Structure 1
């Protein structure tokens, strides 16, 4: 008899096993919701799937009375715009600082201690400072995401750059390459796939900072909507919004992984 530790599921079984926990959780939720609603039909804690569907239909397909916009899609576009801008700025900053400090010992000695200290500052703790200095507009939200994510990306790229074999740098210098040429033609192509991986890992924190900023000061966005309706205990809106954020995070991560594989197919093999 084959031991359990040696059993490897087939691709089909692996897919089914991966879906099983979600199906069980859904069935458990449906049973719990039905039980609570049977006792109290006006219960808001565990709305039925039909109630959540009705709420999301109103937000997604019926124009708002106040502005005439489709609230759900406007919230999604606003949040994705802020997240994309913040993470994009963080990626550019992190790549630049990480590559330079990882490749140039002089800059490493000068900036690495500061980068380490900055990475230890809780970004949410400086949110009031950003609101005071920058204001309550879009800039403060994007800046919070960038500040929260950039140090992580920079330190990761710095470490990845330092891991590149020094023999490559010696060979490039032997062939007459300048410092700029080594940075651009030797080091940069090798750290780019690492940058995409670092962005993927930092997206969780990016979503956290985005929702926190929207909850405190915003007029639209996924985080804003969740904290707006919580005062009415509108779980029929909150739960679908949380599920939608999770789905968006999964899709963005999947697309970045596919992009990395497409642009740098050699990375996985290496």
Structure 2
């Protein structure tokens, strides 16, 4: 008898199984929404799909009377700019310090305890301090993302460097390579695909910090819009925005995964 752990679904079945939870969730929502709207047609908690369509059309295609901008795209551009800035800076910090901590024992002895301590500080607890120090503008939001994700990336890359086969370092030194040559020719090529993995894993946290910062102090952005309309119980706006954020996060992750496969096929087991 073929064991369950050895049964691999085909492509069609894999797609079907992947879509099944979404279909079930949609069905549950339709049933619950229909029941609530049957009792109260003005119910705002579980709007109908027609209400979603009207809200999406209004937010995605009708210019705002106040600013003249199309709200959804303006919010998306603002949030993605903050996210890209914060995650990009975190990736650079993570790469530089991850290599330094992983390859140079003196630096590791001096900075590893500090980085470990930073990674244990809840970033949200520092949000008021960041607003006081950096103000309520863009910088404080980007700094929050950096503070929340950079220590994780540094620690992950440091561990990745330490896991590299020691034989690679010994052979490079036997051939006369200096520390910089070892970093550039041995460590860095091995670490770049792992950097993309670390960035992908940090995206969820980065979105949390971004939405929180926008909710507290912003005049645009996806998080700002969600918390702005919550006072009106506008679930027809909130739920599409949540779905849109989820889609953006998924597409970003998919793009980074594709970039990793394209740039580093050896890391994924060949040219697949």
TM bin (shorter chain):
over 0.9
**What is aligned with 2:243?**
243
**What is aligned with 1:35?**
35
Alignment of 1:171-182 (within 5 A): 171-182=171-182
Unaligned runs of 5+ in 2: none
Secondary structure of the residue aligned to 2:135 is coil
Deviation digits for residues 175-230 of structure 1 (CA, Å, limit 9, x no counterpart): 11111111111100100000000000000000000000000000000000000000
Compute the TM-score of the two structures, normalised by the length of structure 1.
0.98
Aligned length: 270
Alignment of 1:25-104 (within 5 A): 25-104=25-104
CA distance in 2, matches of 1:20, 1:105: 50
Deviation digits for residues 2-32 of structure 1 (CA, Å, limit 9, x no counterpart): 6655533221111111111111111111111
Cα RMSD (Å): 1.2
Change (3 A) 1:38 1:128: same
CA distance in 2, matches of 1:148, 1:20: 34
Superposition misfits of 4+ residues, deviation over 3 angstroms: 1-7
Unaligned runs of 5+ in 1: none
Secondary structure of the residue aligned to 2:17 is helix
CA distance in 1, matches of 2:187, 2:3: 46
Deviation digits for residues 129-152 of structure 1 (CA, Å, limit 9, x no counterpart): 111111000000000000100000
**What is aligned with 2:190?**
190
**What is aligned with 1:131?**
131
Deviation digits for residues 216-260 of structure 1 (CA, Å, limit 9, x no counterpart): 000000000000000000000000000011111111001100100
**What is aligned with 1:227?**
227
Deviation digits for residues 33-80 of structure 1 (CA, Å, limit 9, x no counterpart): 111111101100000111011011001100000010000000001000
**What is aligned with 1:15?**
15
**What is aligned with 2:162?**
162
Secondary structure of the residue aligned to 1:162 is helix
Q: Which sits farther off after the overlay, 248-257 or 9-18? A: 9-18
CA distance in 2, matches of 1:175, 1:118: 38
